[in-house]
Amino acid sequence: MKKHIFITALLGLLCSCGAPGDKHSHEEDSHSSVQVTATQGNIELYAECEHLEEGEECHLEAWFTDLDSFKAAEVESPVLLYKAEEGQIIRSEGERLSEGFFHFDFTPCSDKPCFISIEAGELSFDISAASHVHAPANSVKLPLEQIWKINFCSSEVQKTRLGSVIKASARLGSLPGAEKTIIAKASGIVSYAFPTLTVGSLVKSGQELMRITSKGLTEDNLEVRYSLAEAEFQRAEQEYERLETLSEKNIVSKAELNAARASYLSAKAEYENLKENIRNGLFCVSGDMNGYIDEIYVSNGEYVTTGTPLVCIAQRGPFLATAKVSSSYYESLGNISDVIFLTPKGEYSLEEIGGKVVSISQSTSEQSPLISVNMQIEGYEGCVSGSFADVRICTESREEKMAVPNEALVEESGNFFVYKQLSPVLFEKVQVVRGESNGRLTVIESGLQGDETIVGSGAVILKLAQVAGSLDAHSGHVH
């Protein structure tokens, strides 16, 4: 319901601000106006005179636009310079009606444009090329005051070598070296080292995560195992020291001494490993890298055996994005120019997210009939390991083609149109035939010459303005 109310209000606003016939009669609208556009740096001046007649006081309206933001640009006390009789140059100071919008009074010496320039501080706009302009039949005029209020931008038709576009879904995961699974080095009952051990918990290298106890168990009892290892270590150490003393007197052979030494080193390694990890009869499980808990494989109180995976630790950082595509695209994959990630937060190219294609699988199997395209990316807003993203794998074409931003296209009854900018306030609707799209740009097969300036953001508003302007509230019929 709210959506319908918003659209109705927007149409009413457009009708009140941009529809022909609101302030002038149909006869007045049939006459062309005098218009001129000039640019100084990033400031664009658009000036218009609706009525120009020799010897009568006329009015010139001027709008100053900041081309970086397409919003009103404030300028210093603009002055209009125009020619009068006998070549005399007259200065007319502008009256500020609102930010970026000024009004000038002047009396022309003929019915032809006689403007020279508009001076505003250090800016000088040459408006001597002002001329009469007739609006094409399939056009819409939108006041700059309205353009300044909306998300609006225009640009020249782009050139691209966009070839075929492969649509796919990519799964995001950690790089192989950025995650590690910790396994149980002893059998027993698992207990969490702290109650808030959950997936996503941040951990540090060496931090205790779990404990394994075998207290009460008849088999694989850690306390018994530790005691036996300690006793065996002490025995092997004493035996090795004894034989080493005898070896100095050539009482025992080197073979016997080497065997005793091997037994001693083995018992020492077993004992020190248990001593390092066992505290108060509990085997301590800790990680050896900074990161976060990605997976927990066992529950608190669960019995595990040696070698059972306990927890997976992953590091934040680069991601591995893997897209699966049909093997029919194999030849095209050798000519990838870019990959566009489409997310709820926006679209990102590989360059924008620090990405690159690292490998493409060279074979398929019954278990995996698709080809994998593997990409390393730094990440983007909302990027989470394990999630999926829609991607457009773009290949390069040998031929250069015309393309426009996706938001420049408007649809009517299955046909597609763009708005060609004729002046800062006048736009012509042109039908086009679409080609491939990578989620950002769409190739135009026909309908444009390639040198036009078209509207990107704001095209939908122009469509609504054209619909609103075509409805004549006085006669009740469509022009």
Q: For the ranges 12-21, 158-167, 299-308, which has the lowest average pLDDT?
A: 12-21
Angle, vertex CA 468, rays to CA 462 and CA 474, nearest 5: 150
CB 382 within 8 A of CB 96: no
Q: What's the average model confidence in pLDDT over 320-348?
A: 91
Domains and CATH numbers, the chain: 33-133 (2.60.40.1930), 155-173+318-457 (2.40.30.170), 181-310 (1.10.287.470)
pLDDT higher than 60, residue 65: yes
Q: Can you tell me the distance from the alpha carbon of 61 to that of 110, in angstroms, rounded to the nearest whole number?
A: 19
Q: What's the average model confidence in pLDDT over 258-269?
A: 87
Please classify residue 457 by burial: count the beta carbons closer than 10 Å to its beta carbon, then call 0-12 exposed, 13-18 middle and 19+ buried: middle
Taking only the tens place, the pLDDT of each residue in 197-229 is 999 899 998 898 998 887 766 566 666 676 777
CB 64 within 8 A of CB 120: yes
Dig out the tokens for 394 from the structure.
């773009």
pLDDT higher than 70, residue 171: yes
Query: Quick one: which H or E segment has residue 224?
Result: helix 222-248
- What mean pLDDT, rounded, does the chain reach? 85
Q: For the ranges 40-54, 197-211, 235-249, which has the lowest average pLDDT?
A: 235-249
Taking only the tens place, the pLDDT of each residue in 115-135 is 999 999 999 999 999 988 888
Q: Can you tell me the distance from the alpha carbon of 33 to that of 43, in angstroms, rounded to the nearest whole number?
A: 23
Q: Is 415 left (phi over 0), alpha (psi -120 to 50) or beta?
A: beta
| pLDDT range class, residue 401, cuts 50, 70, 90 | very high
Q: For the ranges 4-18, 85-99, 193-207, which has the lowest average pLDDT?
A: 4-18
Which has the closest alpha carbon to 321: 366, 364, 379?
Answer: 379
Dig out the tokens for 223 from the structure.
């306390």
Torsion of CA 127, 128, 129, 133, to 10 degrees: 70
Tokens 């394990």 label which residue? Answer: 386
Q: Fill in the amino acid letter for 211.
A: R
Q: What's the average model confidence in pLDDT over 337-348?
A: 91
Taking only the tens place, the pLDDT of each residue in 403-421 is 999 999 999 999 999 999 9
Taking only the tens place, the pLDDT of each residue in 351-389 is 999 999 999 999 888 888 999 999 999 988 888 888 899
CB 391 within 8 A of CB 341: yes
pTM (two decimals): 0.67
Measured N-to-C along each axis, helices 222-248 and 254-277 cross at an angle, to the nearest 10 degrees, of 150
Taking only the tens place, the pLDDT of each residue in 446-479 is 999 999 999 999 999 999 988 886 544 443 333 3
Q: Parallel, antiparallel, or unpaired: how do β-strands 319-325 and 371-377 relate?
A: antiparallel
CB 325 within 8 A of CB 168: yes
Q: Can you tell me the distance from the alpha carbon of 449 to that of 451, in angstroms, rounded to the nearest whole number?
A: 6
The pLDDT of residue 135 is 83
Q: Can you tell me the distance from the alpha carbon of 155 to that of 21, in angstroms, rounded to the nearest whole number?
A: 30
